[in-house]
Amino acid sequence: MSKPESQDQLKMERIVSLCKRRGFIYPSSEIYGGTGSVWDYGPVGVLLKHNVKQEWWQAVVQRRDDMVGLDAAILMHPRVWEASGHVSGFTDPLVDCLQCKQRFRADDLAGDRCPACGGELTAARPFNLMFKTFMGPVESEAAVTYLRPETCQGIFVNFKNVLTSARKKPPFGIAQIGKSFRNEITTGNFTFRSREFEQYEIEYFVPPEQADQWFDYWVDERLRWYTGLGIAQDHLRLRPHAVDELAHYAARCTDVEYHFPFGWSELEGIANRQDYDLRRHQEASGKDLQYFDEAEKRRYLPHVIEPSGGVDRSVLALLVDAYEAIEGGRGAAGAEVESVLRLHPRLAPIKAAVLPLVKRDGMPDRARAIYDDLKRHWFVEYDEGGSIGRRYRRQDEIGTPFCMTVDSQTMQDGTVTVRDRDSMEQVRVHADKLIEFLRGKLGEG
């Protein structure tokens, strides 16, 4: 591996390495050399990702009266993508190098020569980012469909179904978490731009005249959600789009950006999509998608405010924000770099580790009993291998907020030491009170 050029690059390399070593994120199909920009979440990564999605779901669906959830299929009728504009317009400008044959996104290039070999480039041509596939046993043009490049179209085409079955009226929203696929030309920065990724999207349907007020509401709400997960306020910013940058369907758009080691980059976009999507699907399907307001005797197509975020980007930002490398370590005269992931306890994959101080005097049995008790409520780990300091460090690296050690005093008075990941302070808590203790720390009390 080449020497990192900057502290930021070093930090990113350390995070990527920790993710692989400790089971957060692996390159997909690695034994075959990897699949370009596709990633697998390992044993602790899947827990972190699950917790992030759970936080989102609770905040935008469970705790609100004006939102419902949906889980639409990834494969949709091909006409959806014609009506949405993706077949004709979901493209990036692609250029080929005539010499080395590499391909680039034209708008990423600074000059008019190939950045790899200096060769001559072709003129730019539109490259559709949707993954094509075939529905059914015949691979004909008539059977072509696509893996969805965004989850929101599943919401738009179900608007009428939800309206009727959930008995909602605007303003109300539909939320969905799911996989999306884009055959990105430029990838990189770890999971930041992947070809398969997960989105969480809200389509919030409002009377047209309320669109601006709900747009401002959702921008504030979504920014607050990220800081509530523990991301430092000064690592987040809002970036309103300039008029010439807006997507064709959007009247306004503001991005929530995070200060990654590779620069300020988008976590989520909040867009005012107006009635573009419902209108297009109404025209293409011939179905009336208007809402009839009984009280006002008014029929209209709701306008849509869309907060659209990437789960993988949130996870990456949370990892970056939580990561600290301590040269020389925090404990007694160690020379190693110690890594601590200061994840919010609610997001931490493992909530507590139960550790017998030594492998004798009944401590392993006592520790196992505590572990068995706690694991009925949360993901916890039992670990008896290696020195206690080494075991603490293993947990610090994956962000476990509490280590509970069974020692000789436990065998006398039933208390264990609870070590805090961030302060390294230790307090004694009776084993019978550990569930209550953790509930309090996790805000579940």
What is the contact surface with ligand GAP in residues (CB under 6 A)?
A: 150, 152, 182, 184, 193-194, 197, 199, 201, 266-269, 308-310, 312-313
Q: Write down the least CB distance from residue 108 to ligand GAP, Å.
A: 14
Residue 145 or 183: the one with the smaller Cβ distance to ligand GAP is: 183
d(CA 250, CA 270): 10
Residue 239 or 375: the one with the smaller Cβ distance to ligand GAP is: 239
Q: Write down the least CB distance from residue 184 to ligand GAP, Å.
A: 5
Give Cβ neighbours of residue 121 (< 8 Å, ≥ 6 apart).
95, 96, 97, 98, 104, 109, 112, 113, 114
Compute the Cα dihedral for 393, 9, 182, 239 and give only its sign: positive
Residue 190 or 437: the one with the smaller Cβ distance to ligand GAP is: 190
Q: Write down the least CB distance from residue 383 to ligand GAP, Å.
A: 34
Q: Write down the least CB distance from residue 182 to ligand GAP, Å.
A: 5
Q: Are 191 and 36 in contact (CB under 8 A)?
A: no
Residue 313 or 421: the one with the smaller Cβ distance to ligand GAP is: 313
Q: Write down the least CB distance from residue 407 to ligand GAP, Å.
A: 46
Helix then strand count (H, E) for the chain reads: 13, 23
d(CA 382, CA 81): 49
**In the complex, residue closest to ligand GAP by CB:** 310
Give Cβ neighbours of residue 133 (< 8 Å, ≥ 6 apart).
75, 144, 145, 146, 147
Residue 219 or 350: the one with the smaller Cβ distance to ligand GAP is: 219
Q: Write down the least CB distance from residue 129 to ligand GAP, Å.
A: 9
Q: Write down the least CB distance from residue 268 to ligand GAP, Å.
A: 5
SS3 12: helix
Of 133, 156, 146, 132, the C-alpha closest to 72 is 156
Compute the Cα dihedral for 423, 424, 427, 431 and give only its sign: positive
Where does residue 137 fall: left (phi above 0), alpha (psi -120 to 50 degrees), or beta otherwise?
alpha
Furthest-apart CA atoms within the chain: distance in Å:
79
**Terminal-to-terminal C-alpha distance of the chain:** 47
Tokens 């025209």 identify what position?
283
Q: Write down the least CB distance from residue 180 to ligand GAP, Å.
A: 7
Residue 128 or 194: the one with the smaller Cβ distance to ligand GAP is: 194
Residue 201 or 396: the one with the smaller Cβ distance to ligand GAP is: 201
d(CA 309, CA 319): 16
